Amino acid sequence: MNIVVAMKQIPDLHQIRMRDRQPVLDDVPLTLGNIDKNALEAAVHLRDTHGGKVIALSAGSEELEDTIKEALAAGADEAFMILDDSLDNADSSVIAAVLAATIRKINDVDIILFGEGSGDNYSGQVGSRVAGILGLPQVGYASSMEVQGNSAIVTRSLEDGEEILEVELPVVIAVMADINEPRIPSVSQILKAGRKPQEVLELDDLAIEILEEPVVTESNLAPETPRKQVVVKSVDELIAVLRTEGVIGR
Ligand X SMILES: Cc1cc2nc3c(=O)[nH]c(=O)nc-3n(C[C@H](O)[C@H](O)[C@H](O)COP(=O)(O)OP(=O)(O)OC[C@H]3O[C@@H](n4cnc5c(N)ncnc54)[C@H](O)[C@@H]3O)c2cc1C
Residues of this chain that interact with ligand X (CB under 6 A) are 34-35, 117, 119, 122
Residue 169 CB, shortest distance to ligand X, in Å, is 27
Our finding on whether 167 is near another protein (CB under 8 A) is: yes
Q: Residues near 3 by Cβ (< 8 Å), separated by ≥ 6?
A: 43, 46, 47, 52, 53, 54, 55, 109, 110, 111, 112, 113
Tell me which of ligand X, another protein, none is bound by residue 242, counting a contact when its beta carbon lies within the kind-specific cut-off of 5 to 8 angstroms: another protein
Instruction: Indicate whether 132 belongs to the interface with another protein (CB under 8 A).
Output: yes
Asked if 46 contacts 147 with a C-beta cutoff of 8 angstroms, the reply is yes
* Residue 178 touches which member of ligand X, another protein, none, C-beta under 5-8 Å by kind: another protein
| CA distance to 27, 48, 134, 184, per residue, from 94 (Å) | 26, 32, 14, 31
Tell me how many residues contact another protein (CB under 8 A). Answer: 81
162 binds another protein (CB under 8 A): yes
- What whole-number distance in Å separates Cα of residue 7 and Cα of residue 13? 16
What is the footprint of another protein within residues 73-112 (CB under 8 A)?
A: 91-93, 96
Residues linked to residue 139 through DSSP beta bridges, in sequence order = 173
Whichever of 52 and 119 has its CB closer to ligand X, that residue is 119
> Quick one: 153 or 191, whose CB is closer to another protein?
153
